[in-house]
């Protein structure tokens, strides 16, 4: 079963975090180790980190289909910071992986407990045979 | 490119020889994990070399020789690190050669399908060590990166190493349980391929063919195991409907609406013959019963000709044998077809408390279908939509959403109103 783990950051945290160097390094090291562990457990399908939200553009098609771009969307409360897609044996395992990412260290090394949205990817088993 | 490779005569020969070669190399070197890697390398060397030069006179011997050379290299390089241990390994290899048995493939299957492994690991390892598929082929069939599949396989091998599963046939007492595990893994491989999906490389439906090929091998090795024959029959009878199961864009077509002229009659005949040979020969197990149900469906020229009383009787037997809630659901459908939708819905009510079904889309899907049969359009729409919201299979979700939409747009009987 495949699941996407979406890491959301609050709008307040959309900018480059202004943490002490030591805490930033610890956070980056944690994320690297997290990705490495997932790779080694044979569960990682893909993972991407996204640019900071000030680089985001909202696009709609204009009358003739040309793109009309808009700046950052101020109404958004949370932004997708990155995601992992994992292939695991059970939803519980996906939740456990998400909880681990959620507890990434923040300022002072304290766990951030970020919200991670976990949702099945539409790759479920085929309909049961009769 | 992969489908060509899988179909070429060289590829077929190599994959047939893969488990035999692996068995021989393991017996000589006593190291499953390293031997498995060495045999993969030998297979790849043959894939390149044989079509260009010629298939050697003794292809099996050629592969064993190449793989053994790799193993010797492996042992030597290990010895730089762990001199003493490797010496022991070399000695063991040269002096004590266990008598060669014809059961290597079976021993490998018991090993790869060991209950200590998770289903996903057992499937991957079986496809590589017994099926002779490459990691890249397996990865593309399961739509995961090759590196991920490589890790999964190497962890599976590590698990086998750690649990010290010996390279020998299980004891008589263990045999039946281990045999069930083997058949279950083959069944899972077949199911993985049961949904068709387009892709540039190995298609998922090749997995069904691979499962059928492996089941044929097991049957040849265990001709007296009637459940093996039952499983092979079930696969053939189910796979026979493949071309009718999906439309041009991959949309699901339910059994009742399938164009039965697309069913593979040759495969149906083979499945029925296998089943007929197995049924009188002892205890009838769940695979034989499921095959019998598939056969009854396959033998109906039109959907209306289906012998539902016969199917209901078979599900009655199956239900007594297994606690699988999916069996109970299908039993309810059969009961509805024989005794009317009301009876089927009553049986479904009895399943509401089953925790395993609580969040399962299939309970809603079946209820929707039976409500529609009973003429309750609003209820059917509600449950088709509930099922659509719960399934994780995209073609199935499309199908369920469209069922609901069809009912919404259909003219209603006057007394129902809008």
- Per-residue pLDDT tens digits for B328-363: 999 999 999 999 999 999 999 999 889 888 888 999
The shortest CB-CB distance from A130 to any of B149, B192, B255 is to B255
Q: Distance of alpha carbon B23 from its chain centroid, rounded?
A: 23
Measuring CA to CA, which residue among A115, A46, A50 is closest to residue A86?
A: A46
Measuring CA to CA, which residue among B361, B120, B189 is closest to residue A1?
A: B120
Nearest Cα of chain B lies from the Cα of A7 at a distance, in angstroms, of 21
* B-chain residues near A122 (CB < 8 A): 392-394, 397
Positive/negative CA dihedral, B126, B132, B133, B136? positive
Whether residue B179 contacts residue B144, with contact meaning beta carbons closer than 8 Å, is answered with no
- The low-confidence residues of chain B, meaning pLDDT below 70, are 1-7, 81-102, 195-204, 413-418
* A-chain residues near B123 (CB < 8 A): none
Nearest Cα of chain A lies from the Cα of B293 at a distance, in angstroms, of 8
Measure the CA–CA gap between A2 and B366, rounded to whole angstroms.
25
Mutation for testing the A interface, residue in B119, B151, B325 having most A CBs under 10 Å: B151
* A-chain residues near B397 (CB < 8 A): 122
Q: Do A1 and B392 touch (CB under 8 A)?
A: yes
What is the predicted pLDDT for the residue at B199?
39
B147 reaches A (C-beta below 8 A)? yes
Q: Do B393 and A42 touch (CB under 8 A)?
A: no
* A-chain residues near B152 (CB < 8 A): 42-43
What is the predicted pLDDT for the residue at A8?
86
Q: Which of B100, B129, B145 is the last residue of a domain?
A: B100
Asked if residue B135 is part of any domain, the answer here is no
Q: Look at residue A13 and tell me whether its pLDDT is greater than 70.
A: no
pLDDT (mean) for A58-86? 84
CATH of domain A2-120: 3.30.70.1060
Asked if residue B359 is part of any domain, the answer here is yes
Mind giving me the DSSP string for B148-192?
A: HHHHHHHHHHHHHHHTT--SSPPPHHHHHHHHHHHHHHHHHHHHH
Asked if residue B324 is part of any domain, the answer here is no
Measuring CA to CA, which residue among B262, B234, B232, B235 is closest to residue B247?
A: B262
How many structural domains compose chain B? 2
Nearest Cα of chain A lies from the Cα of B88 at a distance, in angstroms, of 30
CATH code where residue B364 lies: 1.25.40
Q: Do A123 and B148 touch (CB under 8 A)?
A: no
DSSP conformational letter for B142:
T
Render pLDDT for B43-97 as a digit per residue (tens, 0 to 9). Answer: 999 998 998 888 999 999 999 999 999 999 888 887 776 655 544 444 444 333 3
Whether residue B47 contacts residue B41, with contact meaning beta carbons closer than 8 Å, is answered with no
Positive/negative CA dihedral, B189, B124, A3, B199? negative
B158 reaches A (C-beta below 8 A)? no
Whether residue B146 contacts residue B136, with contact meaning beta carbons closer than 8 Å, is answered with yes
Residue B299 is encoded by which pair of tokens? 């033998």
What is the predicted pLDDT for the residue at B84?
52
Residue pointed to by tokens 């040979």: B277
Q: What is the mean pLDDT of chain A?
A: 87
Residue B49's domain comprises 1-100
Measure the CA–CA gap between B33 and B60, rounded to whole angstroms.
20
What is the predicted pLDDT for the residue at B141?
84
Domain boundaries, chain A: 2-120
| Partners of A78 in the β-ladder | A10
Measure the CA–CA gap between B192 and B240, rounded to whole angstroms.
16
Q: Do A42 and B155 touch (CB under 8 A)?
A: yes
Asked if residue B227 is part of any domain, the answer here is no
The residue of chain B with its CA nearest to that of A43 is B148
């Amino acid at each position: 079963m495949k699941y996407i783990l979406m890491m959301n950051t609050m709008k307040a945290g959309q900018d480059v975090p202004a943490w002490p160097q030591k805490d930033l390094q610890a956070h980056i090291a944690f994320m690297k180790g997290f990705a490495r562990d997932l790779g080694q457990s044979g569960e990682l399908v893909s993972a991407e980190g996204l640019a900071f939200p000030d680089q985001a553009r909202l696009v709609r098609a204009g009358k003739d289909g040309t793109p009309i771009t808009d700046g950052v969307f101020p109404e958004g409360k949370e932004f997708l910071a990155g995601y992992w897609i994992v292939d695991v044996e059970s939803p519980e395992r996906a939740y456990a992986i998400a909880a681990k990412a959620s507890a990434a260290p923040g300022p002072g090394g304290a766990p951030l407990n970020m919200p991670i949205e976990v949702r099945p990817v539409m790759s479920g088993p085929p309909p049961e045979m009769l | 490119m992969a489908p060509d490779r899988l179909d070429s005569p060289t590829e077929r020969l190599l994959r047939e020889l893969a488990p035999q070669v692996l068995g021989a190399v393991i017996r000589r070197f006593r190291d499953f994990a390293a031997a498995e890697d060495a045999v993969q390398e030998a297979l790849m060397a043959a894939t390149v070399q044989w079509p260009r030069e010629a298939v050697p006179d003794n292809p099996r011997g050629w592969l064993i020789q190449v793989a053994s050379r790799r193993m010797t290299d492996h042992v030597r390089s290990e010895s730089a690190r762990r001199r003493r241990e490797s010496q022991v390994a070399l000695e063991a290899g040269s002096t004590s050669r266990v008598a060669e048995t014809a059961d290597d493939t079976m021993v490998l299957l018991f090993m790869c399908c060991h209950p200590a492994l998770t289903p996903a690991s057992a499937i991957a390892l079986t496809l590589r060590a017994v099926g002779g598929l490459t990691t890249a082929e397996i990865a593309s069939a399961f739509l995961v990166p090759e590196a991920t599949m490589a890790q999964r396989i190497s962890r599976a091998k590590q698990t086998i190493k750690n649990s010290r599963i010996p390279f020998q046939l299980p004891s008589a007492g263990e045999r039946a349980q281990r045999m069930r595990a083997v058949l279950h893994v083959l069944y899972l491989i077949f199911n993985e391929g049961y949904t068709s999906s387009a892709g540039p490389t190995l298609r998922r439906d090749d997995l069904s063919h691979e499962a059928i090929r492996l089941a044929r091998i097991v049957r040849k090795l265990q001709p007296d195991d009637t459940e093996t024959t039952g499983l092979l029959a079930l696969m053939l009878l189910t796979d026979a409907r493949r071309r009718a199961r999906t439309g041009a864009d991959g949309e699901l077509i339910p059994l009742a609406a399938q164009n039965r002229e697309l069913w593979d009659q040759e495969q149906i005949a083979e499945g029925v013959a296998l089943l007929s040979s197995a049924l009188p020969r002892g205890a009838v197990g769940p695979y034989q019963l499921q095959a019998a149900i598939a056969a009854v469906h396959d033998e109906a020229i039109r959907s209306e000709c289906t012998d539902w009383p016969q199917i209901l009787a078979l599900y009655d037997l199956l239900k007594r044998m297994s606690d699988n809630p999916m069996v109970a659901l299908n039993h309810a459908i059969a009961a509805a077809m024989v005794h009317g939708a009301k009876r089927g819905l009553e049986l479904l009510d009895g399943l509401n408390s089953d925790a395993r079904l609580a969040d399962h889309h299939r309970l809603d899907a079946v209820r929707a279908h039976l409500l529609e049969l009973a003429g309750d359009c609003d209820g059917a729409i509600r449950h088709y939509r509930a099922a659509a919201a719960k399934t994780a299979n995209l073609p199935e979700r499309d199908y369920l959403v469209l069922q609901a939409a069809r009912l919404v747009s259909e003219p209603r009987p006057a007394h129902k109103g809008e």
